[in-house]
Amino acid sequence: MSIFLPESWNARKGSDYSDLCLGLLLGLGSLKFGTPANLAEMTSAPGNIYEFLLVSWPLNWGYVLAVLVCAGLIVAGRGRVCANYLIYCGVGWILWNVIASFGTMDAVLTGQVMVHFWVVLLIWYTGWVMARRGVRYSWLFAGIGLGVIWVIWNGCQQKFGGLEETRKFIYSQEGWQNLPAEFLYRIERDRIFATLTYPNALAAFLVLSVPCLMVWLYRVGESMHGKRLGWVLSILAGISGLMCLFWTGSKTGYLVAAVQIALGTILWLPVSRKWKAGLVIGMLLLGGILFGWKYNDYFRDGARSLTVGRFGYWRAAVENVQSHPWTGSGPGTFMRVFSKNKAAGG
């Protein structure tokens, strides 16, 4: 029945819909629930169809949806807790965050983040239960892949006039000042963000998801019309993802993608080690040259986002560890720590 991947990717027959449901839940998360938990107040319920389609949804909507879907999948799959080191890792992680919450410097922020953590743990446990009974990865990756494709498509639309057209249309409407601040903040800038909150968030999403999308599309093409179509679909996805990554303006994302490509060359290309070494060195040199060309003005101005921004974050983190060596300042409170450190002249 699989039209997405060869049968070799399917661990069992049946329950296609449960695997697709989990995949669609994860795919929808990248489309509508990309707001960080500690910035949940930036989103509000959409007031009309335009906001419903274009603006991120409140995280509470996502939490309710995730609980309902995951509970249904666990019950349908007759999931039960079994002794396993992965279960112990997840339980240990959430318990440590609960302990750290008692000494938090901001109970509201920590509460928002802890709800997010519990929902993430539930989704992770649901995936673990389904993996133990066998998953048809063709359907699981179909849901995730469709979400990633829509994010990339949305980013390309923003680059080629969509963001500017949206900006002009919004500003021509009466009462545009009353739109959610999160939405107005995003459309004022030229760096694309697709369906996520910030350009850097999109960059992080792309470096994690595009390699998986490339593999999935390769399998799709291979199952439909042989390896040639698989390579075409995979390369198109990779190029589109790299273009969107470039348009986010994320320097860290650019460097991570260069390392990914180098590692992919080492692992996958069926050529000798000398050829692999030469290709990797060449790609890294080319990537470095393009990076220097793209961000020439950035380095000429002293790389302030690195020397002031990143170093400031690290310095605040070190001071926070020194002040709270055991449980920290509380889950989700680093923004408060950094603001306090910055106000003190750190």
Tally of structural domains, the chain: 2
Residues 30, 300: Cα–Cα separation, whole Å: 35
Q: What is the pLDDT of residues 251-302, one digit of tens each?
A: 778 778 877 777 776 767 676 777 777 777 777 787 777 777 766 666 666 5
Q: What is the pLDDT of residues 125-163, one digit of tens each?
A: 888 887 777 777 778 888 889 999 999 998 898 888 777
Statement to judge: residues 237 and 323 lie in one domain: no
Statement to judge: residues 191 and 334 lie in one domain: no
Can you give the residue range of the structural domain that contains 11?
A: 7-249
Statement to judge: residues 130 and 244 lie in one domain: yes
Statement to judge: residues 209 and 74 lie in one domain: yes
The residue ranking higher by pLDDT, 59 or 259, is: 59
Task: Name which of 63-67, 222-226, 280-284, 322-326 the model is least confident about.
Answer: 280-284
Q: Residue 11: what pLDDT?
A: 46
Instruction: Flag whether 63 is in a domain.
Output: yes
Statement to judge: residues 45 and 187 lie in one domain: yes
Mean per-residue pLDDT, 34-53: 78
**Secondary structure (3-state) at 55:** coil
Statement to judge: residues 198 and 327 lie in one domain: no
Mean per-residue pLDDT, 69-86: 73
Statement to judge: residues 127 and 231 lie in one domain: yes
Residues 205, 213: Cα–Cα separation, whole Å: 12
Statement to judge: residues 202 and 334 lie in one domain: no
The whole model's pTM is what?
0.76
**Phi and psi angles of residue 82, each rounded to the nearest 5 degrees, phi first:** -125, 145
Q: Residue 3: what pLDDT?
A: 42
pLDDT > 60? residue 193 = yes
Statement to judge: residues 154 and 64 lie in one domain: yes
Closest CA to 253 of 307, 310, 302, 201: 201
Instruction: Flag whether 262 is in a domain.
Output: no
Highest mean pLDDT among 36-50, 52-66, 172-186: 52-66
The residue ranking higher by pLDDT, 51 or 309, is: 51
Mean per-residue pLDDT, 7-18: 54
Q: What is the pLDDT of residues 92-123, one digit of tens each?
A: 999 999 999 998 998 988 999 999 999 999 99
> By percentage, how much of the chain surpasses pLDDT 70?
82
What Cα–Cα distance (Å) separates residue 150 from each residue in 30, 31, 181, 273? 9, 8, 24, 37
Instruction: Flag whether 241 is in a domain.
Output: yes
Contact 151, 172 (CB under 8 A): no
Mean pLDDT across the chain, nearest whole number?
79
Statement to judge: residues 239 and 339 lie in one domain: no
Statement to judge: residues 327 and 230 lie in one domain: no
Enumerate residues 6+ apart whose C-beta is below 8 A from 213: 145, 148, 149, 237, 241
Enumerate residues 6+ apart whose C-beta is below 8 A from 29: 62, 147
Q: Residue 113: what pLDDT?
A: 92
Residues 39, 335: Cα–Cα separation, whole Å: 10
Eight-class DSSP state of 58: P
Mean per-residue pLDDT, 10-14: 46
Mean per-residue pLDDT, 238-255: 86
pLDDT > 50? residue 169 = yes
Statement to judge: residues 105 and 236 lie in one domain: yes
Please report which confidence band the pLDDT of residue 9 belongs to, taking 50, 70 and 90 as the band edges. very low
